[in-house]
Structures are given as structure tokens and as C-alpha cells.
Amino acid sequence: MADARAPIFEKVALIGLGLIGSSIARGARAYGAATRIAASDASEQVCARVRELGIADETTADLAQTVTGADLVILCVPVGACGEVARVIAPHLSPGAILSDVGSVKGAIVAQVAPHVPASAHFIPAHPIAGTEYSGPDAGFATLFQNRWCILTPQDGFDGEAVRKLSAFWTRLGANVETMSATHHDLVLAVTSHLPHLIAYNIVGTAADLEEVTQSEVIKFSASGFRDFTRIAASDPTMWRDIFLNNKDAVLEMLGRFDEDLTALRRMIRTGDGDGLFALFTRTRAIRRSIIEQGQDTAAPDFGRSAPREE
């Protein structure tokens, strides 16, 4: 059934129609967040598929045409592509338009995008903490953002009305919105998202490289814990290359801390410190349980949880 509430934006322009862009398109339509959705992607193949899926009102590879007349423009491209896209669309942004993004890193995006944004537009970086290991327009779904966080990182003293409107948009798509600085965002996400991905890429790579553990044995014996790592390690290579290159300092800082804790763990095993191991595993089990209690277990998304809340 169509959502009867008034749209928050007239024309929403989405650039990059992969997992996140196509989920925003589907969600904006399902929950009536936009009157019209314009889509653009550098790949003609993606544009053609978006037309087939019918998830946007207009789809073209022409960036200028896509953003013209839009009151909200969202960059949904890999982090490393945001600066160049911003440079191309900047002269075509309408006065008063909100320019946002969904990049997994915020400091580098501010540095690369902000210099291009005209004074007449409002740039509000954003990051929905929701995703899967899949990519492309077929991977998206309208309920992806339901009950997930969306972090906004507006600069200090930024136009409150523009932030309120963008918050309302994400709330309409089902997200819980929180605001913080780009630096704090990058530090937090380095621990909660970037480091876990790095560890998954590493463990899967190590296992595949081990001479006695052949590729076929990796597949054959990956029934439980290892399989969870392979899911994360299947995430998009372009996206994750850009994340690590653009959140270098925070990731390296957290990796240093991780190394120290791993050394302590190694010592516990070497010295037979069973109490130490037991205490750590008890603490981490409690963390997992509290995440589940808070309904934040993304490993088990509830695709039926589609009732939108009031913004």
C-alpha cells in the first residue's frame, strides 16, 4: 500500500545505483519520502537495469541532467569517486539544494567534496550503517535502513533546517539518526566496521593461502565460524579499497590497539592462562547478547519489519 504522508523532498537525485543507491530509491518510493526520483550511474549497464527494475522516475548517465532541479542530491558512489562527481555536478546544483552522500568514511569525503560545493547549496555528509556483502541495483531493498543508524556529520553551526530535513528523510526510510563530527565518526567506524572487515579479509586470505588447506577444503569445512568471515570477506573490493585508503589514520590506530590485545591473548595461550581466556570470552559473549537485545543483529535482518515511524 502506498505511504500517504507528504513527501519530504520534491526531486531526489541519486548518483550511483548500487546496493545503497537502489535501496534509497526503493525506500524513498515505498515510504513516500520523495515526489520524484532521478537516478544516474557511470555504468550504462546499471542504468539499463535500473530502468528495467523501474525503481526511479528518470535514469540517465548524464549527471548534470540528474541533479538539475533536485532539492536533495545523494552521492552513492565509492568513497574515492565522490570528489570527482561533486566537481562535475556542482555548477548544476539548485540554490538551496542539499548535497549529501552515504560514504563509509566521512573526513576524507568532506575534504574531497566540500571545496566544490557552491555557497548556495548545503553539504551534509551522511552514513547509513546498514548494508550487506552484495553490490549492484539488484541487491537493494526498501527495508535496508529499517531500525539501523544513519549518522550525519554536519559542520559546526550548520543550517539547522537543512539538517532537520535530511534527518526527516532518513527517519522516513526507517533509520535512527544521530549527529557527530566526521573525525569521531571515522574513529568509531574504524573499530566497529573497518577493522572487522580487515580481519575477515585477512583470515580468509590466510586460510586460502595455507598449503595444506586447499581452496576446496576451505569450502568443504566452512560450516560455522569461518563461514561468517567469508561472508564479510565477500564485500565489494572497490568499496573496501577506498575505505582503507581514505580512513588510513584511524584504521592504523585501531590496528595498533588490536595488535596489543592479540599479543596479550597469545601470551594467555602460551602460558596456559585459562582464567584470562575464560574472563575475556565471558566479556565478549555478554557484548554479543546485549547487541541482540538491542535489536542490532544485522546478521539476521527482519525483512518484514517495514512499518515506518513518524519523523
Ligand X SMILES: O=C(O)C(=O)C[C@]1(C(=O)O)C=C[C@@H](O)C=C1
Ligand Y SMILES: NC(=O)c1ccc[n+]([C@@H]2O[C@H](COP(=O)([O-])OP(=O)(O)OC[C@H]3O[C@@H](n4cnc5c(N)ncnc54)[C@H](O)[C@@H]3O)[C@@H](O)[C@H]2O)c1
Q: For 13, which DSSP code? A: E
For ligand Y, which stretch binds (CB under 6 A), given 98-106, 145-153, 172-180, 274-282? Answer: 98-106
Asked if residue 104 binds ligand Y (CB under 6 A), the reply is yes
Asked if residue 46 binds ligand X (CB under 6 A), the reply is no
Total number of residues binding ligand X (CB under 6 A)? 9
Among 27, 41, 56, 97, binds ligand Y (CB under 6 A): 41
Among 15, 28, 129, 173, binds ligand X (CB under 6 A): 129
Q: Give the H or E element holding residue 67.
A: helix 63-67
Q: Distance between CA 297 and CA 302 in Å, rounded?
A: 10
Asked if residue 107 binds ligand Y (CB under 6 A), the reply is no
Q: Give the H or E element holding residue 150.
A: strand 149-152
Asked if residue 204 binds ligand Y (CB under 6 A), the reply is no
Please list every residue from 120 through 139 that binds ligand Y, using CB under 6 A: 128, 131-132, 135-136
Tell me how far, at minimum, the Cβ of 300 lies from ligand Y, in Å: 16
For residue 207, give every residue at least 6 positions away whose Cβ sits within 8 Å of its Cβ, in sequence order, or none.
213, 218, 226
What count of other Cβ atoms lies within 10 Å of the Cβ of residue 162? Answer: 20
For ligand X, which stretch binds (CB under 6 A), given 123-131, 214-222, 250-258, 275-283? Answer: 123-131
Asked if residue 186 binds ligand Y (CB under 6 A), the reply is no
Alpha-carbon distance values, 278 to 268, 273, 275, 284, 285 (Å): 10, 9, 5, 10, 10
- Name residue 75's beta-bridge partners: 15, 101
What count of other Cβ atoms lies within 10 Å of the Cβ of residue 44? Answer: 9
Give the phi and the psi of residue 232 in degrees, each rounded to 5.
-65, -40
Asked if residue 176 binds ligand X (CB under 6 A), the reply is no
Among 121, 239, 250, 251, binds ligand Y (CB under 6 A): 239
Residues that bind ligand X (CB under 6 A): 104, 129-133, 193, 235, 298
Residues that bind ligand Y (CB under 6 A): 15-21, 41-43, 46, 76-79, 81, 85, 102-104, 128, 131-132, 135-136, 236, 239
